[in-house]
Amino acid sequence: MSCAGLVPVMTLAAQTGLPALLADKVCIPAPRIKSGSANPAPKLTTVIAGMCAGADSIDDIDVVRVGGMKTLFGGVYAPSTIGTLLREFTFGHARQLESVLGAHLGALSARVDLLPGSHQRAFIDIDSLLRPVYGHAKQGASYGHTKIAGKQILRKGLSPLITTISTEHAAPVIAGPRLRAGRTNSGKGAARMIAQAVNTARAAGVTRQILVRGDSAYGNSTVVATCRRAGARFSLVLSKTRALTAAITTIGEDAWTPVRYPGAVRDPDTGDWISDAEVAEIPFTAFASTAHPVTARLIVRRVKDARYRDALFPIWRYHPFLTDTDEPVDAADITHRRHAIIETVFADLIDGPLAHMPSGRFGANSAWILCAAIAHNLLRATGVLAGGSHP
């Protein structure tokens, strides 16, 4: 038995109704290949099981068929059959699978304490990443901007947009991924994704405040309006504009407060915090030139520019974000910067199912990333049940 640990994982999947959800919601009535859409539920369950066992390509799903694995599981399909099914997926079929993801996350939360602390506050984080692809056969592949070693470069690939749900005491789960072309603007489709993520969070048992966090790609009036309609608060980075720069210059020197970040240490000689970050806030009306201006707290974090350490006067770099929370300014800055927790989800996915985009068809890759999200949440729930350091 090469992966006997799949038994409790897939038992949990069965207890939370994953096969039934797949059978109920995923339907491909007019396939290109007549047998392509037959029995989608066990085929997709096989994909998710393979991903839980480490598969990062369609051929790798054979891991659930090797040795004596088929004596543990019934209804296991060959990779070639699964590839045929995935290539039948279109945008609409991917949305069917997206509804499975949301419903299954709710079922997992009812079975497992997946989001402890959600009765106080939960966080929805949104961000995109660029997964590189090679060759000319990938549908939707195009050159998009990505950052490597702190430098912006153009790279050919596909760009998933992902939302996650977390709390002060819980690692993030995936609320929704959506695959897009590589050159797609980072913020395209963000408002709809956030609205869906808020609904998914409510279905997963989040009853109190939800805070939506994002970088400058999502700091726009459409996203803010969506947050307010959904009853969520926001903490979003703003792009630099003349009005924003002018507002920052009005902040007096006595308004800046040092920030003690978690894990910070003191200088043994001076007793000062090693970090030189400071924060301040002013009221600010953002998006004034649009039909939906928003007045909220503009919180600005400043740090000394590392390029000019020996300057006669300190030279600062400013990082502003807009929020409607009521936390103290230093706490609001720390809360906002924890948005970076979504990068741990990206790392999990890149080290697992998203190591490759396995198909030349865009629809197949869309289905693949949704199965990867379901597998991620399933493993997260399994870790919570296992206890110890696994949650």
Q: How many Cβ atoms are within 10 Å of 74's Cβ, its own excluded? A: 7
Say if 294 falls within a structural domain: yes
Say if 264 falls within a structural domain: yes
Say if 317 falls within a structural domain: yes
| Distance separating alpha carbons of residues 387 and 136, to the nearest angstrom | 45
Query: Which residues lie below 8 Å from residue 331, measured CB to CB, with a gap of 6+?
Result: none
User: How many domains does the chain fold into?
Assistant: 1
pLDDT in tens, 36-93: 788 899 999 999 999 999 999 999 999 999 888 888 888 889 999 999 999 999 999 9
Say if 265 falls within a structural domain: yes
pLDDT at 265: 60
Question: Band of the pLDDT at 182, cuts 50, 70, 90?
Answer: confident
- The parent domain of residue 325 ranges over 235-330
What's the mean per-residue pLDDT of the chain?
90
Say if 48 falls within a structural domain: no
Say if 261 falls within a structural domain: yes
**Percentage of residues of the chain with pLDDT beyond 70:** 96
pLDDT at 150: 72
pLDDT in tens, 159-175: 999 999 999 999 999 99
Instruction: Please list the residues that pair with 161 across neighbouring strands.
Output: 128, 178
Nearest residue to 16 via CA among 62, 48, 40, 55: 48
| Distance separating alpha carbons of residues 249 and 333, to the nearest angstrom | 19
pLDDT in tens, 119-178: 889 999 999 999 998 878 888 888 887 777 777 888 889 999 999 999 999 999 999 999
Say if 270 falls within a structural domain: yes
Structure tokens at 136: 């000319």
| Distance separating alpha carbons of residues 124 and 191, to the nearest angstrom | 12
pLDDT in tens, 244-281: 999 999 999 888 988 877 666 666 665 665 567 889 99
Contact criterion met (CB below 8 Å) for 317 and 305: yes
pLDDT at 350: 95
Say if 44 falls within a structural domain: no
